[in-house]
């Protein structure tokens, strides 16, 4: 690697690999789960659902491998990092009662990132010192070594993330409208930052209307970007954003932070129906928003009817985004849409 590796670059690489790995790992089950339930006990539908869940179990492995890819590792060390992240995530645990290894969920995302980061650090530290026996020593020293550290970190990391999630969820019950607005605005910002909304939602285990508010924040930013990208960028850019590539606009955020103004206002207004209609979600749906219709499908599965779904997820954010486009640009002259929303990648 020619570029000097600073702490900031290291962190960004870990976050980037994590974000991609989570999307790849979670999208199949997140999108298919609600749809497949419509087919009841159809054997073929059940088989597809089971495959999607098993695929999801590999999320930590995907995260580890993609983090290693960010550091341009060769195949062997790349898969060592992937294996270490998989084990360190806790996605598979030994059940003494069943005398079997049981897999569930995606493990702890933060511990996955930490274990992968430790494995990457060890590989960078060791470099070529193992020489011809690297194929034997790297999996043992780096793989098992990183996992051992991750194993002892796991209880503390999960306790911290659970406490944060419980705090957010309990606050929502105490002051639902205010907290829905705050959560929605936070996720509206995170979706165009280097931080993965899906990772955060999974890490702190958002649930109920907390997850619904988080997903609505992501949806609000998506709609704002689509509305403002239309006629400013090439159709392919706008379509990519609509399909989930909101992080394409990260350079715009750092170049023109004012891009957050319409995003935050739309997210705040769109969060109100979340509290009023008790729009719920799951840890897996919290960071997706409209991508793959994960957020709307999760809220429908939680009991939201179709009319309220269309009003909450589509009508309110679209109307607010269009009104703000006219108000902020044409009336208040706060910014020039082309200057702020043009994709320069």
Q: What is the pLDDT of residues 265-274, one digit of tens each?
A: 999 999 999 9
CA distances to 170, 241, 243, 320 from 237, in Å? 39, 6, 10, 22
pLDDT for 239: 86
Whole-angstrom distance, CA of residue 77 vs CA of residue 34: 37
pLDDT for 76: 95
Whole-angstrom distance, CA of residue 286 vs CA of residue 212: 6
- Tell me the mean pLDDT in the region 128-156: 93
Give residues with Cβ within 8 angstroms of 230, minimum separation 6. Answer: 238
Whole-angstrom distance, CA of residue 254 vs CA of residue 257: 6
pLDDT tens digit sequence for 64-109? 999 999 999 999 999 999 999 999 999 999 888 888 999 887 888 8
Please write down the long-range contacts of 70-76, taking CB distance under 8 Å and 24 or more positions apart. Answer: 70/13, 70/14, 70/16, 70/17, 71/1, 71/13, 71/120, 71/124, 72/1, 73/120, 73/123, 76/134, 76/135, 76/138
Q: Quote the DSSP letter at residue 103.
A: E
* Average confidence score pLDDT of the chain: 88
* pLDDT above 70 coverage of the chain, percent: 97
């Amino acid at each position: 690697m020619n570029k000097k590796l600073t702490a900031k670059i290291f962190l960004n690489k870990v976050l980037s690999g994590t974000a991609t790995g989570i999307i790849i790992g979670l999208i199949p089950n997140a999108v298919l789960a609600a749809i497949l339930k419509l087919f009841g006990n159809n054997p073929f539908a059940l088989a597809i659902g089971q495959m999607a869940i098993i695929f999801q179990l590999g999320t930590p492995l995907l995260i580890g491998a993609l983090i290693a890819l960010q550091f341009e590792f060769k195949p062997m060390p790349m898969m060592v990092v992937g294996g270490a992240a998989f084990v360190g995530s806790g996605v598979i645990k030994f059940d003494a009662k069943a005398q079997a290894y049981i897999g569930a969920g995606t493990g702890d995302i933060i511990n996955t990132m930490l274990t992968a980061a430790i494995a990457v650090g060890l590989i960078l530290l060791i470099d070529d010192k193992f020489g011809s026996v690297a194929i034997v020593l790297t999996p043992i020293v780096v793989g098992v070594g990183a996992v051992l550290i991750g194993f002892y970190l796991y209880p503390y990391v999960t306790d911290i993330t659970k406490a944060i999630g419980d705090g957010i969820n309990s606050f929502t019950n105490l002051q639902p409208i205010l907290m829905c607005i705050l959560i929605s605005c936070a996720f509206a910002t995170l979706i165009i930052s280097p931080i993965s909304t899906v990772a955060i939602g999974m890490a702190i285990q958002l649930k109920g209307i907390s997850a619904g508010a988080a997903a609505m924040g992501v949806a609000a930013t998506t709609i704002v970007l689509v509305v403002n990208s239309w006629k400013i960028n090439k159709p392919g850019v706008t379509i990519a954003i609509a399909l989930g590539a909101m992080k394409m606009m990260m350079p715009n955020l750092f170049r023109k932070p004012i891009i957050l103004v319409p995003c935050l206002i739309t997210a705040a207004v769109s969060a109100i129906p979340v509290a009023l209609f008790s729009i719920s979600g799951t840890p897996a749906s919290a960071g997706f928003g409209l991508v793959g219709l994960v957020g709307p499908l999760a809220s429908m599965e939680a009991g939201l009817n179709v009319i309220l779904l269309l009003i909450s997820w589509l009508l309110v954010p679209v109307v607010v985004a269009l009104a703000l486009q006219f108000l902020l640009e044409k009336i208040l002259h706060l910014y020039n849409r082309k200057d702020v929303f043009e994709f320069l990648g």
